[in-house]
Amino acid sequence: IDFLEFYARQMLQIKDGVPVNSRPNEYNRYDYIPLGVGIIISPWNFPLAIMAGTAVAAIVTGNTVLLKPASTTPIVAAKFVEVMEEAGLPKGVLNFVPGSGAEVGDYLVDHKDTRFISFTGSRDVGLRIFERASKLNEGQIWMKRVIAEMGGKDTIVVDSEADLELAAQSIVASAFGFSGQKCSACSRAVIVEDVYDQVLNRVIEITKEKSTGNPELQETFTGPVIDQSSFNKIMGYIEIGKGEGRLVAGGTGDNSKGFFIEPTIIADLDPKARIMQEEIFGPVVGICKANDFNHAIEIANNTEYGLTGAVITRNREKIQQA
């Protein structure tokens, strides 16, 4: 609902274009126009919010949409299309096109009548779309536009002047909520050495209090990961982590009745370790030590991803610096 309202209000603002400078004897205008047919490729991890938001943003600005949801979560998107038609959206404006990325996705991206692609998902798929969209296909008379929101390797920096309980609670909530399956999850924590042991021990304590299991139960904190291939990938990263650092919590998985992985903490990592650099997309957090605040910020910046992050400190000057 927030997304629908946001884009509707944005449209009210931009419908008249934006003011531009005019001189005597000339009148300049800058108007926004719809592009045409857009391909919306949405992710499985927020199967309603992101899918609905990206589809509606394109529709409210006057475009028609081919919606290709993630192949693991098509039913949510199908229901959304039904609801939009029930709300009065004319048939044919929003078109439901489920299928595998390799089969349906490539076809839609390559098609000569595709005008733009709005994608949310992994870095590798995003780069593939960007490359394919840049090629001119026979009969195509425009350059396709690509909007791509891809992965993250998000850092929580904990300063020596921080509220340490807040820091520990924040790391656990962000790293293991949704089983870490969001590009905005905290997948690495950088803690200044003066408070490193204290924060790490508290993070371990809180993590061990959390239960993993059926997400329908209120007391469950961490549910399963999405599927077998995701389970295999995350368990593979845990093995890498055992070699790169010290496993201090979790580390085990059970795929006998679902794809459950215990919240896992790997400590004492080198800032350049794979666990600190690569997107895992599961309930795994890497933790490393910084000499001081400046060093912590340097480590936070040493990634090719730039999505979200947090700095926890009580010192306002350090917040400004960050």
- Where in the sequence numbering do the catalytic residues fall? 149, 183
Report the distance separating Cα 99 and Cα 101, nearest Å. Answer: 7
Rounded to whole angstroms, how far apart are CA atoms 100 and 223? 25
First-residue to last-residue Cα distance in the chain: 33
Distance, CA of 152 to CA of 122 (rounded, Å): 9
- Among residues 65, 61, 55, the alpha carbon closest in space to that of 108 is found at 65
Q: What angle do CA 13, 19, 21 make, to 5 degrees?
A: 170
Q: Which residue from 179, 160, 205 is spatially nearest to 311, judged by alpha carbons? A: 160
Cα 174 from Cα 56, distance rounded (Å): 28
What the block records as the tokens of 314 is 């009580």
Give the phi and the psi of residue 176 in degrees, each rounded to 5.
-115, -10
Q: How far apart are CA 131 and CA 151, in angstroms?
A: 17
User: 192 φ, ψ to 5°?
Assistant: -65, 140
